[in-house]
Amino acid sequence: MNTIKVKDLDFTVSIPREEIQKRVAELARQISKDMEGKNPLFVAVLNGSFVFAADLIRGVDTPCEITFIRLASYVGTESSGNVQELMGLKEDISGRSVVVVEDIIDSGLTMKGLIDSLKKQNPAEIRIASLLVKPGNMKVELDIPYCCFRIPNDFIVGYGLDYDGFGRNLADIYTVVK
């Protein structure tokens, strides 16, 4: 098994880059079809979603906008459940079709908090696009129409996702070796 080290932990490839690119392109085509003529606003959640958002939006072929918000809830390899807004939304989203772009939905608490707060601004609709979902960890009900991969509960890094700030630059997705 080929392993790499990120800080003090060993990781091995679980989703190779080719597979990621293929799924992201498929998702972008689906979103383009569903959002045609709606001028959607993509709201990407920093930091983790920046790589996914960049690839996703380049696959979208209907007029659209993208903006970024910054949230944080993770400490080390555990979700703190306590979501902090570090950089808020400046755009007016009332009456708009919003696609929230996330790297991963784990407990779902971050996304639930975000969706509830965006809904107060009366968008026409809000849809979730998440690169990854860990269904086994979800603590809240969420409708996730766009998801590239459903994965087990193990901790992962790469393709934008980090372990204490490191590993975001990796082109593949890696799972921790236990």
Q: Please tell me the distance from the alpha carbon of residue 82 to that of residue 93, in angstroms, as a whole number.
A: 25
Q: Please tell me the distance from the alpha carbon of residue 160 to that of residue 3, in angstroms, as a whole number.
A: 18
- What per-residue string of b and e applies to 133-145 under the rule 16 or more CB within 10 Å gives b? bbeeebeeeeebe
Does 160 sit near Mg ion (CB under 5 A)?
A: no
Out of 55, 103, 106, 162, the active site residue is 106
Does 48 sit near Mg ion (CB under 5 A)?
A: yes
- Confirm whether 106 is a catalytic residue: yes
Closest alpha carbon to 101 in 170, 28, 154: 28
Give whichever of 55 and 102 is closer to ligand IMP, judged by the CB atom.
102
The distance of closest approach from Cβ of residue 152 to ligand IMP in the complex, given in angstroms and rounded to an integer, is 10
Give whichever of 48 and 123 is closer to Mg ion, judged by the CB atom.
48
* Segment holding 52, helix H or strand E: helix 50-58
The distance of closest approach from Cβ of residue 1 to Mg ion in the complex, given in angstroms and rounded to an integer, is 28
Closest alpha carbon to 102 in 125, 134, 124: 134
Q: List the interface residues with Mg ion, window 76-135 (CB under 5 A).
A: 103
The distance of closest approach from Cβ of residue 135 to ligand IMP in the complex, given in angstroms and rounded to an integer, is 11
List of residues contacting ligand IMP (CB under 6 A): 48, 73-74, 79, 102-111, 155-157, 161-162
Active site residues: 106
